[in-house]
Amino acid sequence: MAEGGTTLEYTPTWVVALVCSVIVIISLAVERFLHYIGKVLKKNNQKPLFEALQKIKEELMLLGFISLLLTVFQGMIAKICISEELASKWLPCDKKAHKAATKSTAHFESFFSSFTSHHGAGRRLLAESSASSDYCAGKGKVPLLSITALHHLHIFIFVLAVVHVTFCALTILFGGAKIRKWKQWEDSASKEEHNLATGNPFSSTKYIQVQDHDFIKNRFQGLGKSYVLMGWLHSFFKQFYGSVTKSDYTTLRLGFIMTHCRGNPKFNFHKYLMRTLEADFKKVVGISWYLWLFVVIFLLINIDGWHTYFWIAFFPFILLLAVGTKLEHIISQLAHEVAEKHIAIEGDLVVQPSDDHFWFNRPRIVLILIHIILFQNSFELAFFFWIWVQYGFDSCIMGRVRFIIPRLVIGCFIQFICSYSTLPLYVIVTQMGSSFKKAIFDEHIQDGLVGWARMAKKKNTNKNAADGSSKVGHKEEYPSVIQLQKLSNK
């Protein structure tokens, strides 16, 4: 029998069976719930969201593997000994202050401790921690990481992943709700194009002054020679109110269609934006390796007196404002280019999409930055709630109240602005790049293109093996416009 705890040899079978049943039932319920959601998404032909669900399952499996590693190797980790001098450096809390306030205990922690003590779990955890301490004490050292600290770290990693996935889902949900409101602008633009009497549905014979166009007046007129400075200042404040107006939407929509879909004037731009949002959700909801690296760095610099988590809260905050300002400024640049080139135009105003407006000519960078913003904000809030539950509000790790309140306010602000302003801005402005995304095609057209590409590769391989020529029949390998139109009508 282990010291201070009861093994399975002397545990009632009904207790073991009951605990296992509860764990299995909860696990199966979660698995069936995710499976049901997947079936619904497949039935509704929402492949991007289904892939995002698969990504969430991968994250849960990774968490399970991390949990398994921590559980299996906790004894070995606890028996790695280091010197007391090394263990007293870079502490999150001052040991002297901790000894003076040992009675400060977490409410939830004391509750769970009293509950688990009846089953021997609490005593077993303390006994194992004591055993590892005695093992290192015999060598005149201390454990690298105690069983208790390893257990708390285990819980934090789980809380962080769950909070990140939840907050990303809420952001996409609220952002998508705002983008759906643009549907009326799409219907209005399509109706106006349909009612045009001329053969070209995108223009009319009416001439208008560029400066009188709503898109130009809202973004450029009145800035004068101070456009460089005032343009950025205007973009900064514009992200907080009316970030995308009807004139913005219709003008950017027309510019996209005239650049990438000139032969399809009835292209549903709003439906394309929703498919793009769903496809990007799969990338945002995951936790990439560099995000885990950020976690390690932030845990490293959480040193007493540094107030690290207060200053870190400003990182996603500043990054969010920079991204929102940049996206708004790209729309202003498009308006500025048209105003410089034309005095009057015939018909509707058409902007020219280009990658030159984006950082390093890569619109994709914006999505990476939004991914970092959401994760950092999730990290801040997850760390706060974990400390509150695990150690209590008065814990030294929590920090002072004057540092806690700004962190919470900033976290809520980031979540709100990112959902209702930055994300919708990203979805529409990143379409102003030089190329379009594969979401421009419906799912069955994408599958058809992939199939054609595979067939072309296979035929070319066979022909190369037969006569050594790779230039035969290339025009017949790929789908024609007529074939794509047939697919789209299915």
Shared-domain flag, residues 229 and 266: yes
Domain count, the chain: 2
Q: Which domain holds residue 411?
A: 170-440
Q: Is residue 117 part of a domain?
A: no
At position 180, the amino acid (one-letter code) is R
Q: Is residue 330 part of a domain?
A: yes
- Token digits for 284? 């945002």
Shared-domain flag, residues 282 and 187: yes
Alpha carbons within 13 A on the beta-carbon side of 490: 11
Enter the DSSP assignment of 220: T
C-alpha dihedral sign at 67, 68, 71, 76: negative
Shared-domain flag, residues 369 and 472: no
Q: Which residues pair with 142 in a beta bridge?
A: 82
Q: Where are the beta strands (DSSP E) in 55-180?
A: 81-82, 142-143
Shared-domain flag, residues 295 and 432: yes
Could you read off the pLDDT tens digit of each residue along the chain, which spans 490 residues?
Answer: 344 457 777 778 888 888 889 888 988 888 888 888 888 877 777 766 777 777 777 777 777 788 778 778 887 887 888 888 888 888 888 766 555 444 444 444 444 444 334 444 444 454 455 555 677 777 788 888 888 888 888 888 888 888 888 888 888 888 888 888 888 888 888 887 666 544 554 444 565 666 667 777 766 655 555 566 777 888 888 888 878 888 888 888 888 888 887 777 778 888 888 888 888 887 888 778 888 888 888 888 888 777 787 888 888 999 999 999 999 989 888 888 877 776 656 666 778 888 888 888 888 899 999 999 988 888 888 888 888 888 888 777 777 777 888 888 898 899 899 888 899 999 999 888 887 766 665 544 444 445 555 666 666 666 666 655 444 444 444 444 444 444 444 4
Q: Are 63 and 158 in contact (CB under 8 A)?
A: yes
If you search the block for the tokens 């194009």, which residue do you land on? 193
Shared-domain flag, residues 340 and 459: no
Domain boundary among 423, 440, 457: 440
121-137 vs 107-117: helix crossing angle, rounded to 10: 100
Q: Is residue 139 part of a domain?
A: no
